[in-house]
Copies of this chain bind each other. A is one copy, B any other.
Amino acid sequence: MPQYMDVHHGMKGLTADQLMEAHRADLAIESEESVHFEKAWADPESGTVFCLSEAPSAEAVQRVHERTGHRADEVHPVPLTV
C-alpha cells in the first residue's frame, strides 16, 4: 500500500491532547477508506503537523481528514523512503 505524508498548517498552539484527539478521530473511521494513519508529528510553534499514512490514494487520506474536521493543506505520495 502506498505511503503518504500530509501536512497541516495554521495549527499554532496545538496541544498534545488536541493532537491525540485528532489522531483518534482519524483512526476511528480510517478503515472505511482503507487508510491507516501510522504516525503524526507536530510543531505547535509554527503550527505545522505532519501525518504519515498508508492509503490507496491521496484522495482517501484527504477524505478521512475532511470527515474528522481537519483537512490537510498538502498530501504527498512518498514512494521513496530511506
- Bound-state CA distance A20–B80 (Å) is 9
Copies of the polypeptide in the assembly? 2
| Contact (Cβ within 8 A) A76 B43 | yes
Q: How many residues of A contact B (CB 8 A)?
A: 27
A81 to B48, CA, bound (A): 12
Instruction: Check A14–B80 contact: CB distance below 8 A.
Output: yes
User: Chain B residues with Cβ under 8 A from A46's Cβ?
Assistant: 74, 76
Cβ contact within 8 Å between A48 and B76:
yes
Interface residue ranges of A41-71 to B (CB < 8 Å): 41-46, 48, 50, 52
Residues of B within 8 A of A20 (CB): 82
In the assembled complex, the Cα of A33 lies from the Cα of B37 at a distance in Å of 32
